[in-house]
Amino acid sequence: MLKKERQAFIIQQINIHNKVLSADLCQHLNVSEDTIRRDLQELAEEGKLIKVHGGALSSSFHFTLQNNNIYSLPQKQVIAQKALSLIKDGMIVLLSGGTTIRELIKSLPPNLNATFITISIPAALELLEHPTSEVIFIGNKLSKSAQIAVGAEVIEKLKSIKADICFIGTNSIDAKEGITDMEWEIIEVKKAMIAASQQVISLAISEKLNSVQKLKVCEPSAINYLVTELNPNDQSLEAYKKAGITVL
């Protein structure tokens, strides 16, 4: 595979999953760690990703005070509009992190009166702009890659919450495997969020469907709703419906 093809694959994977691991890229592309390291360094110098130890992050997912170029922004805006129908006045809503979650927050009606609890710094900052809803940030040790709070203290605080719904920004989802992710600390927090909620909503652009990472967040049976930009009658969503998930 040519360098241009390798790097195009790397950018595609990082846009879809927000993060890539060097070891996984070596396996997928059948090249050495040195080759991947050089590719990531070149892409970082071009401003196409953020190189970190063991891999790289999406520059759009990584929140800064400047405006970001969000990957698949129109699709994420469609998802946000669909997900709004699930939020009602008086609800307690748990939010994970991610660019789709941020688009959901930006779409909230200004007169909505709900309580939002989040582990995400970018999500909390977006929520501060909402005029009528209450914002609670659960903080502790921060994951620099995902910009969310992680650790035992966060998990203990989540155990005391009984939320109406939980919106999970999804790395990978599959009708048989459920939601999966890459980092153990993030997965443990997401598990606690799911356990603290009456209903769980997975937000995922269609490119994340039928993809699986190495670590499991939850089984398909734990997911109440899957929200994508696709028409709910799209054939690619049938397997999720058969798994008992309501598709929006």
Report which secondary-structure segment, H or E, holds 174: strand 172-174
Q: How many CB atoms lie within 10 A of CB 85?
A: 10
Say what the pLDDT of residue 200 is. Answer: 98
Say what the pLDDT of residue 64 is. Answer: 53
- pLDDT of the chain, 248 residues: tens digit per residue: 788 889 898 988 888 887 888 988 998 898 998 999 899 999 888 888 888 888 888 876 555 544 567 888 999 999 999 999 999 999 999 999 989 999 999 999 999 999 999 999 999 999 998 999 999 999 888 887 778 899 999 999 999 999 999 999 899 999 999 999 988 999 999 999 999 999 999 999 999 999 999 999 999 999 999 999 999 999 999 999 999 999 99
**CA 107/CA 130 separation, integer angstroms:** 10
User: Please, which residues have CB within 8 angstroms of residue 213's CB and are 6 or more apart in sequence?
Assistant: 17, 171, 172, 180, 181, 182
Pair 190, 228: CB distance under 8 Å: no
Backbone torsions φ then ψ of 164, nearest 5 degrees: -70, -45
Q: Helix, strand, or coil here: 8?
A: helix
Class of domain 3-57: mainly alpha
Give domain limits for the chain: 3-57, 73-247
Distances (CA, A) of 79 to 94, 102, 137, 213, 248: 17, 11, 24, 22, 9
At 87-104, the pLDDT tens digits run 999 999 999 998 999 999
Say what the pLDDT of residue 85 is. Answer: 95
The domain over range 73-247 is classified in CATH as 3.30.70.250: no
**CA 166/CA 118 separation, integer angstroms:** 10
CA-based nearest residue to 120, from 99, 106, 134? 99
Say what the pLDDT of residue 68 is. Answer: 63
Say what the pLDDT of residue 65 is. Answer: 44
CA-based nearest residue to 186, from 172, 176, 199, 197? 172
